[in-house]
Amino acid sequence: MKTSKLISFIAILLALNIYLWVFALGEKLSIIPGFYFLNVGQGDSEMVVLRGGATILTDAGPNYEVVSEMQKILGLSANYIDIGIITHAQADHFGGYLDLIKKYSFGAVLWNGAEPSGSGSWQNLKEKLAELNIPLVVTGAGTIISQGEDNIKILSPDYKFIEAKDLNDTGIVEKITIGERTALFTADISKKVETYLLQIYSEELKADILKVPHHGSKTSAGSAFISAVDPSISVIEVGLKNRYGHPTAEALALLSSISSKILRTDLDGGLFLQPADGGFKVFTE
């Protein structure tokens, strides 16, 4: 692979849609470890950089805007991302990958396996990944991606939600640990999935950062779920003056009620949350 970055999947455990992936990289990158939230308009895109240098991109927004956002983080000369994750096959989450793969190679791209109906752009992306020999791998609850003591644990979907009628409810949910700091990335899940996660994971949902579900829509971010996560920082990825009315006043009020600091890509631009003693250093555009 380029610049000697080598992903070694030490063990893969496959059982009923559950995978365990462990990888190690030989070369440490100079990018600052932490949590990056990209300003891609009305869509989602987040990247985490682990302390060993691994770069994991979750979603890529709807279009080419993600390329310039990644260049701000990785620099103009970089051309490799270790792992891409597509939480679910809706265009505001995967569309930007069609532009990213023109510039960046990926060690692998993970997705949930839930096929959208009638999406030519999704089929186009799958064909392009195959042409470039980038593995597109189905994953779900039980996957652990780790480098050193840092890790990403996928909490959902499992068999209960992978065939959900609402594609949003098939979205990949990630609990991320970098050192002593944690984040919960929640794709576009609804309150139905939130309730399920509360039943299964309970206190494990607690996180320092919450990527607010579904851009702060009225179908997500129930009070019990928000209380369980209890984030000190809540990030809402949303387009400026979007036609959906995201985020809702109810979602903002709920986050404020638990004294969570609210950051928004429509108002703050791209975000970088750098783990620091006792919390985070917060950088906005």
Neighbours of 237 (CB within 10 A): 29
Q: List domains and CATH numbers for the chain.
A: 37-268 (3.60.15.10)
Residues 128/205, Cβ–Cβ less than 8 Å: no
Average pLDDT of the chain? Answer: 87
Burial 159-187 (b: 16+ CB within 10 A, else e): eebbebeebbbbbbbbbbbbeebbbbbbb
Q: What is the pLDDT of residues 173-225, one digit of tens each?
A: 999 999 999 999 999 999 999 999 999 999 999 999 999 998 777 877 889 99
Q: What is the pLDDT of residues 16-65, one digit of tens each?
A: 222 333 333 333 346 899 999 999 989 899 999 999 999 999 999 999 99
